[in-house]
Amino acid sequence: MFPVQIPSEILAQILDQLPFKSQLAFSQTCREANRFLNDEHFWANRIKALCPFELNLAPTKANFMKRLSRIQKEVAFFDKHYPKILAMIQIHPLALAHFNVSLARIKELMKNPWGESYIEKLKEINQLLTMLNAQLIEIQLLSANRTYLKLSYISRFPEHVITNNLPLFSQLERLELKDNLLETLPTTIGLCKSLTSLDVYDNPIIAVPASLNQLQNLHFLYFSGGNTPTMPDAIYQLKSLKWLSYDNMQLKQLSPNVALLQSLTWLYLRNNHLTQLPEELVTLKKLKDLYLENNHLLTTLAQSLLRFFKTLKLDLPIFFVTQPMDLDNLNERKTDDIDALADTMALLTVYPKSHTEKPKGRSPLARSY
d(CA 172, CA 196): 8
Task: Give the CA diameter of the chain.
Answer: 85
Task: Indicate the length of the chain as a whole number.
Answer: 369
**291: Cα separation from own chain's centroid:** 19
- The rounded mean pLDDT for the chain is 82
Do 185 and 82 sit in the same domain of this protein? no
Q: Helix, strand or coil for residue 218?
A: coil
177 within domain boundaries: yes
Q: pLDDT per residue over 79-123, tens digit each?
A: 999 999 999 999 999 999 999 999 999 999 888 766 556 788 888
How many domains are there within the chain?
A: 2
Q: Which residues contact 70 (CB under 8 A, 6 or more apart)?
A: 50, 183
Residues 179 and 324 placed together within one structural domain of the fold: yes
Based on the domain organization, do 96 and 182 belong to the same domain?
A: no
Distance CA 218, CA 178 (A): 17
**Angle of CA points 301, 302, 308, to nearest 5°:** 100
Of 84 and 306, more confident: 84
pLDDT at residue 315 above 90? no
Amino acid identity of residue 2, one-letter, is F
Question: Is residue 197 within 8 Å of 173, Cβ to Cβ?
Answer: yes
**pLDDT above 80: residue 218:** yes
Which residues 6+ apart lie within 8 Å of 143 measured at CB?
none
Give the chain's count of helices (H) and strands (E): 14, 8
Q: Which residue among 99, 128, 157 closes a domain?
A: 128
Same-domain pairing of 184 and 309:
yes
Rounded to whole angstroms, the Cα distance separating 103 from 75 reads 8
How many CB atoms are located within 10 Å of the residue 318 CB?
8
Who contacts 111 (Cβ-Cβ below 8 Å, separation ≥6)?
Answer: none
Do 104 and 166 fall within a single domain? no
Q: What is the pLDDT of residue 120?
A: 85
The answer to whether residue 84 is domain-embedded is yes
**pTM for this one?**
0.79
My answer on whether 172 and 248 are in the same domain is: yes
Residue 135 lies inside a defined structural domain of this protein: no
pLDDT digits (tens, 9 = 90+) for 227-258: 999 999 999 999 999 999 999 999 999 999 99
- Whether 294 shows a pLDDT value over 80: the answer reads yes
Instruction: List alpha helices for 30-60, DSSP H.
Output: 31-37, 40-50
Q: 366 lies in a domain?
A: no
Q: Give the domain extent around 49.
A: 8-128
Q: Kindly state whether residues 341 and 197 are assigned to the same domain.
A: yes
Same domain, 267 and 338: yes
Mean pLDDT of 61-83: 91
Domain assignment present for 133: no
Measured on CA atoms in the order 153, 156, 158, 162, is the torsion positive or negative?
positive
Q: Is 367 inside a domain boundary? A: no
Kindly indicate the confidence band of residue 44, based on its pLDDT and cuts at 50, 70 and 90: confident
Residues 200, 348 share a domain: yes
Q: Which is more confident, 113 or 142?
A: 142
Same domain, 117 and 157: no
Residue 263's CATH number: 3.80.10.10
Please give the sequence-ordered ranges of beta strands (E in DSSP) within the chain, or none if there are none: 148-150, 174-176, 197-200, 220-224, 243-247, 266-268, 289-291, 313-314
Q: Do 316 and 292 touch, CB atoms closer than 8 A?
A: yes
Closest by alpha carbon to 213, among 246, 192, 184, 190?
190
